[in-house]
Structure 1
């Protein structure tokens, strides 16, 4: 079946030429500059593949396991370096789902699983997170949805786009639910590393023999342009199939992406980078919290992790109509409507991207657009 466009990407395509003056909703930390890595780059580096492993640079895969807390639990060959977490999700879902298979996912959540599942002619079942419970995943409803024979459960932790975090006990319960159904459990961790409450949650690849962890350097480290992510799983058959499938899509990783990501994930660089990102991110979220509190009719649950969250608009305002109006003159401010995540009465707010997003001006314009909205 043909892959159908999702609302999130459709909106981005429709608005990419708008040239906004401010952005309210950027999802990644401030991006480093290439010059920050030059001292560690070899000018004689061949611009071919890494010439050492089709699974990715061995030292990069070691770093991936370390940052995920999986050293001694997973082996380096349990890691495949991919073109971002999106390719990692694709490699898992593409090989696991066949027509008629049951895929259980969450709403709101990252829409990629639903898009690929429909293209595979799978049965799609979504479990609604509860806004009244700060977007917690209802484990009782998940257990009801994951029936015997369910092929795949796909979740994000921290949740994209609410920033809700499942803790170790919740993850253990999710693993039990998946195990009872003998289902594969994919958890996208692309927003891990910027936790504001408590510790980083355990990675599911270390909790369950059919657990698959995906992630990247895109969000917490602001390195989205590297297109460098990973898939982690202890099942050798799935990993070998992922290598073969990648050979027929992106084939090999770009060497610069691998090398720069390896440098960025070195422990002596990773911790200072995360500390700086957390300092900037927490300040931004404090500002956003104050803005939501002061703006009549706007409410949100502050994210427990990451730099984005969903805000409910005042009654009677459609999120997509509001986003399109805000993007036009005189406001020229970009944000994503909640319809991109199946929540049409919401907008996505975020504080990433650094000074270039012109966040303060964007917030002022957002408030003015709300005041101008016809009642």
Structure 2
């Protein structure tokens, strides 16, 4: 079946192709470092060929991936991919067939819906409870399972609300996967940016059916490397995903993998996460005060990650977002319609000073008092 574009990417393509905004309220990744930050740790004689390297990815990087996830698994449990998005793609293509069902969360990462439609599978949404801070009820997930269910796909923290699945509930979901023999795929791209609750364990360590996906894109701001991974204890899943990847992005991104390995070295990772947490927490405090002061906005502050959803009163989120793109505002934020929530907007704490978020919030405030 034809792969359709999801609303989030469609909106980005439409609104950023020309006349770029001046301010951004909703960057989803930490401030990006510069290449010069890594040059002292890179060998100038480094060969950029992948011949003679493991097709699963650089062993040193795969070990760093396991270390940051606090998992004691064999190196061959990790496949390096072109970001978490490719890892998810490979798993959907490999593990789900036409007629199968995928249980997922709503709101959630739209890739699941795109892939379900392309494969001819059925997507079964389990609604997160906004009144309870976007809580996901494990029992509601259990009730959604049928004999046709093949996979449960979740994000932790949730993209786009920032709500965490705590360890006890994650273990309940892992037990559910064990009981029914279902793949439990959890995208953890924001792991490491928790604002209060501790980081939950990676699901690959909780059940043989658990598969963790992640990347250096969000928490470390290294989106341009296109370097991510999947972690799975089943060697056939890893091998089949590697073979499928050979027919897409092919073998490996040698330079990206070397830089990612440097970024995930323990001392360097701790320093980068500390900076991202400090900047993110400061901006989240700013967003918290802003939402509290605006009578037309309300939200549940994210427990982790850099984005959250704010409910808007009196105007749909997409009308507001599109109005903000035009003069005199020239400010970007993502409408909640990208996640099937027309009365919300996505606001975020990423991007650093280049996002000009203070100016953007002033312009958003002006729009809220003028539009609708």
For residue 149 of structure 1, report the CA deviation from its aligned partner: 3.8
Distance in 1 between the 2:177 and 2:328 partners?
50
SS at match of 1:126: strand
SS at match of 2:149: coil
Distance in 2 between the 1:65 and 1:75 partners?
9
SS at match of 1:171: helix
Structure 1 unmatched runs, 5+: none
Say yes or no: does 1:63 pair with 2:61.
no
Change (3 A) 1:113 1:50: farther
Distance in 2 between the 1:324 and 1:51 partners?
50
Distance in 2 between the 1:168 and 1:56 partners?
29
Distance in 2 between the 1:320 and 1:252 partners?
40
Matches within 5 A, 1:70-109: 70=71, 72=72, 74-109=73-108
Distance in 2 between the 1:342 and 1:69 partners?
34
Matches within 5 A, 1:1-375: 1-16=1-16, 17-49=18-50, 51-70=52-71, 72=72, 74-314=73-313, 316-374=314-372
User: Is the 1:149–1:183 Cα contact (8 Å) retained in structure 2?
Assistant: no
Distance in 1 between the 2:363 and 2:273 partners?
30
* More displaced 10-residue stretch of structure 1: 48-57 or 104-113: 48-57
Stretches (4+) displaced over 4 A: none
Change (3 A) 1:160 1:332: same
For residue 180 of structure 1, report the CA deviation from its aligned partner: 2.2
TM-score, normalized by length of structure 1? 0.98
Q: How many residues align?
A: 371
Q: Residues 289-318 of structure 1, C-alpha deviation per residue, up to 9 Å, x if partnerless?
A: 00000111200000000110000001x311
Distance in 2 between the 1:39 and 1:201 partners?
34
Calculate the aligned-residue CA RMSD, in Å.
0.9
For residue 50 of structure 1, report the CA deviation from its aligned partner: 6.3
Structure 2 unmatched runs, 5+: none
Q: Residues 69-124 of structure 1, C-alpha deviation per residue, up to 9 Å, x if partnerless?
A: 11x2x211000000000000001111111110011111000010110111000011
User: Is the 1:85–1:188 Cα contact (8 Å) retained in structure 2?
Assistant: yes
User: Is the 1:50–1:255 Cα contact (8 Å) retained in structure 2?
Assistant: no
